Amino acid sequence: MAISRNGCEGCTEITCTSTKDVLSKDLAKTVITAYDRVKARGMSACLFGSTGTCCRNCNMGPCQIIDGVDEMIGICGATADTVAARNFARTIASGSAAHTDHAREMVKGFIETAKGHGPHEIKDENKLMELAEIFGVDTEGKDKNEIALEIGELALADFGKQDDTPVTMLKRAPKKRQELWKRLGVEPRGIDREVVEMMHRTHMGVDQEYHNIMLQGARCALGDGWGSSMLSTDLTDIMFGTPVPRRAIVDLGVLKHDQVNVTVHGHEPLLAEALCLAAQDEEILALAKKVGAKGINLAGVCCTGNEILMRRGIPVAAGFVQQEMALATGAIEAMVVDVQCVMQSVAEVAKSFHTDIITTNYRAKMPDAVHIQFEEETPLESAKEILKKAIANYKKRGDFFIPEETKFDVVVGFSHETINYMLGGRFRGSYRPLNDNIINGRIRGVAAIVGCDNYKMPDNHHEIIARELIKNDVLVLATGCAATGLGRVGLLRPEAVQYAGPGLAEVCETVGMPPVLHCGSCVDNSRLLIAATAMVKEGGLGDDISDLPLAGTAPLWMSEKAVAIGQYFVSSGAYVVFQNLPMTGSKKFSKFMMEEMEDIYGGRWDIEEDPVKLAQKMIAHIDKKRAELGIDKKRERVLFDMEMRRDLGGGGLHDVGCAGPAK
């Protein structure tokens, strides 16, 4: 179907240069994107759905509930409070399930690697030993594969555990937090079990009390953050290497006119890593040359992109909202997808071009896509088969447009370990300098900007929020598509220090780091839990995560995973603000979530649509925590002398070494 689009006027508030460029070309004229669909639908979201009070949990409904109107409760008598809580909890369960099923695959891949099967190996032995201690694995006289196998089997058992003891990783949290969870009865037991129990309790006629529903909501989310996501991050690091700072590039300009462009879209790094290896294989390179291409250009989309960006410096072509735009360049031979955040529309967009959409996971098939199952036992063979399909398409490429000038330098790879070494020095990794700089006020606090981008909102909100935060001396940690978006506007470069307040700028300049740190994919939000715990353990900033001058946001969230992440941060003691949440149809439930939850967890939810005000609310929370810690008076500017610079400079970017892009 042809659509009329004059430049980009037919779209909804796009500020992204590369997106505008691609959409303005004749090539994209037949392409209908989500921006067009948002416009066609008139942006009118269902009031009941968007405020959390539409229930379709049984066939007496669906029931649309109006808070405070007696005749507008559910047929079963369920109130707005119960329905909003049940819906919210189910969103957490779905988001947690997505992370958990992903993590299970990673653990199984880890076990295969430990057994010596497949192309991967145990790379990060330090982290392996750390995990051995956490899991209580005796390492004496064992080689790394034996240790890894024991860890892998214990980790896998955490998913299906049926006894009532907590999942293993929970013991990494600050002591006080663990005691609170125990007192509240929200320690996650089996990771899968918490999702099942959440679904059961929100079934018709079970849990009817929103406080109680949200106890399980917390437990389920904690099973994600401190359970499956954390396992996935750590085991992936051990197999593929813990990220270190490296330079790379992002945006649609990373596509190459003279190479076979293959984008990897989805979430599971096992597939992406195998494709990285296969793209360097001589047989594959020879085939590419045979069709006249100079090589294989792999580029990421969404979180799988973040995984290979962090570990290998492979460029990221697009975040979530750009997936259709990447195809509309006409320059992609194959978009390889696995699970999560893949829009069904990509198959439709691809029809206008020579591009194949290749699904690879039995869980996630699409009409009009080619399916090549990624076999975990033979990953390299699967990856080669996929690349051969892409190579065969190269000669079919017709007109294309790559916005070559729009690609941004970024510095990525800020794992918890990197932050430790950068700020603490290579030989004495520690959070002491970070804590000291927070205490003396050069750094006002730490903010996490995470999660998706979303066609419903202008695409520059991440940037507005980040700029407001760094201008006010707040160090920003970013993950997921938010991080990619911040890269697209140049905030992931050390040069972005010019936008930071004087205190933060001083620290960043001394260390040589950007004021916005890319910490990985959405699963890697677990790194932020560990970083927050390290700040607590370092001392001087209270004895729990809820004492830290810390705040989080996933402003442009679209995925249920973002709600699960938000809840595990809130239940871990953080203040978390989104631009909207489906809970406002119940006064009591939203008051509970946005006010009373703080009395229980020391963290709470909040909602603020305006991006500047949202950032200011985060700063206000940070300032409140500074005042409670008694460090609010210390925000005078202290100039660094040479000794302080030497102290800080030991492990900076210069020292760790910015590996260039792997290609």
* Interface with ligand SF4 (CB under 6 A): 55-58, 60-63, 74-76, 78, 83, 204
CB of 132 to ligand NFS, least distance (A): 28
Task: Considering the complex, state which of residue 150 and residue 338 has its C-beta at the smaller distance from ligand NFS.
Answer: 338
- Closer CB to ligand NFS, 522 or 653, in the complex: 522
| DSSP 8-state symbol, 595 | I
Whole-number minimum distance, CB 306 to ligand NFS, in Å?
Answer: 7
Of 132, 161, 273, 176, nearest in space to 227 by CA: 161
Query: Tokens 């353990």 label which residue?
Result: 537
Q: Whole-number minimum distance, CB 58 to ligand SF4, in Å?
A: 3
Nearer to ligand SF4 (CB atom), residue 81 or residue 509 = 81
**Which lies closer to ligand SF4 via its Cβ, residue 40 or residue 60?**
60
Instruction: Provide the minimum distance between the beta carbon of 481 and ligand NFS in the complex, in angstroms, as a whole number.
Output: 3
Q: Which does 63 bind (CB under 5 to 8 A by kind): ligand SF4, ligand NFS, none?
A: ligand SF4
Q: Which does 629 bind (CB under 5 to 8 A by kind): ligand NFS, ligand SF4, none?
A: none
Rounded Cα gap, residues 650 and 244, in angstroms: 15
CB closer to ligand SF4, 63 vs 534: 63
Identify which of residues 78 and 564 has a Cβ nearer to ligand SF4 in the complex.
Answer: 78
Q: What would the DSSP string read from start to end of 283-351?
A: HHHHHHHHTT-S-EEEEEEHHHHHHHHHHH---EEE-GGGHHHHHHTS--SEEEE-SSS--THHHHHHT
Smallest gap from residue 85 Cβ to ligand SF4 (A): 12
Quote the radius of gyration of the chain (alpha carbons, Å): 24
CA distance 658 to 211: 48
Q: Which does 76 bind (CB under 5 to 8 A by kind): ligand NFS, ligand SF4, none?
A: ligand SF4
502: closest CA among 442, 435, 439, 447?
442
CA quadruple 560, 562, 568, 571: dihedral positive or negative? Answer: negative
The least distance separating ligand NFS from the CB of residue 266, rounded to whole angstroms, comes to 8
Residue 45 binds which of ligand NFS, ligand SF4, none (CB < 5-8 A, kind-dependent) = none
Name which of ligand SF4, ligand NFS, none residue 78 binds, using a CB cut-off of 5 to 8 Å depending on partner kind: ligand SF4
Nearest approach in angstroms of CB 368 to ligand NFS is: 22
Q: How far is the CB of 94 from ligand SF4 (least distance, A)?
A: 17
CB 226 within 8 A of CB 178: no
Closer CB to ligand NFS, residue 225 or residue 494?
Answer: 225
Q: Which of ligand NFS, ligand SF4, none does 216 bind, CB closer than 5 to 8 A by kind?
A: none
Which of the 8 DSSP states describes residue 173? Answer: S
Q: How far is the CB of 98 from ligand NFS (least distance, A)?
A: 8
Give the Cα separation of 574 and 564 in Å (integer): 13
d(CA 548, CA 572): 11
Collapsed DSSP state (helix, strand, coil) of residue 376: coil
Nearest one of 215, 295, 253, 240 to 571, comparing CA atoms: 215
Token pair for 78: 């369920």
Token representation of residue 496: 């972005």
In the complex with ligand SF4, the residue whose CB is nearer, 84 or 131, is 84
Give the whole-angstrom CA distance, residue 271 versus residue 157: 24
Residue 257 contacts which entry, ligand SF4, ligand NFS, none (Cβ below 5-8 A, type-dependent)? none
For residue 561, the partner it binds in ligand SF4, ligand NFS, none, with Cβ less than 5 to 8 A by kind, is ligand NFS
Q: How far is the CB of 146 from ligand NFS (least distance, A)?
A: 33
| 451: partner contacted, choices ligand SF4, ligand NFS, none (Cβ within 5-8 A by kind) | ligand NFS
**Which of ligand SF4, ligand NFS, none lies near 662, with the C-beta cut-off 5 to 8 A by kind?**
none
| Number of helical (H) and strand (E) elements in the chain, helices listed first | 28, 16
Comparing CB distances to ligand NFS, the nearer of 511 and 564 is 564
The smaller minimum CB distance to ligand NFS, of residues 177 and 561, is found at 561
Q: Which does 480 bind (CB under 5 to 8 A by kind): ligand SF4, ligand NFS, none?
A: ligand NFS
Residues in contact with ligand NFS by CB under 6 A are 267, 302-303, 320, 341, 451-452, 480-481, 521-522, 559, 561
Closer to ligand SF4 at the Cβ: 90 or 488? 90
CB of 59 to ligand SF4, least distance (A): 7
- Residue placing its CB nearer to ligand NFS in the complex, 340 or 586: 340
Task: Give ∠ CA 354-355-359 in degrees, rounded to 5.
Answer: 145
Alpha carbon distance 152, 112 (integer Å): 9
5 touches 22 (CB < 8 A)? no
Q: Compute CA 45 distance to the chain's CA centroid, rounded to the nearest angstrom.
A: 25
Q: Residue 522 binds which one of ligand SF4, ligand NFS, none, with CB within 5 to 8 A depending on kind?
A: ligand NFS
302 binds, among ligand NFS, ligand SF4, none (CB under 5 to 8 A by kind): ligand NFS
Residue 480 Cβ, how far from ligand NFS at the closest point, in Å?
A: 3
| Residue 417 in tokens | 């370990």
Q: How far apart are CA 108 and CA 120, in angstroms?
A: 13
Q: 3-state SS string over 193-220?
A: HHHHHHHHHCCCCCCCCHHHHHHHHHHH
Alpha-carbon distance 164 to 161, whole Å? 8
Whichever of 76 and 659 has its CB closer to ligand SF4, that residue is 76
For residues 464-473, one letter each, b for 16 or more C-beta atoms within 10 angstroms of the residue's C-beta and e for the rest, the string is bbbbbbbbbb
**Min dist. Cβ of residue 495 to ligand SF4 (A):** 54
